[in-house]
């Protein structure tokens, strides 16, 4: 029987949840991967610009998710941002 792996994503976006599930299932193919999305505020601008603001938003989403008291094996914070190149 395969071991279960519980992953929390700090977003309710189906696209983000599916992307995280796909990545974890690829790297943990010997486990049953379950991914759950939770609403978590980023605490930054609605459309972050630059690496720093985008990374801060992802970190703050993770921290907000962690405060919800759920158990997990991995916690993933995702933030969309605009990066100037």
Domain ranges of the chain: 3-76
6-35 tens-digit pLDDT: 999 999 999 999 999 999 999 999 999 999
What DSSP letter does each residue of 8-60 carry, written as one string?
EES---HHHHHHHHHHHHHHTTTEEEEEEE------S-SS-BSHHHHHHHHHH
CATH fold of 3-76: Maf protein (3.90.950)
24-74 tens-digit pLDDT: 999 999 999 999 999 999 989 889 999 999 999 999 999 999 999 999 999
């Amino acid at each position: 029987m395969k071991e279960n792996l519980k992953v929390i994503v700090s977003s309710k976006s189906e696209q983000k949840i599916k992307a995280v599930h796909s990545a974890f299932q690829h790297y943990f193919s010997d486990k049953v991967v379950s991914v759950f999305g939770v609403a978590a505020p980023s605490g930054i601008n609605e459309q972050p610009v630059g690496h720093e603001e985008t990374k801060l938003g992802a970190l703050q989403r993770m921290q907000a998710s962690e405060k919800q008291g759920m158990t997990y094996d991995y916690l993933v914070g995702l933030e969309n941002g605009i990066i100037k190149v």
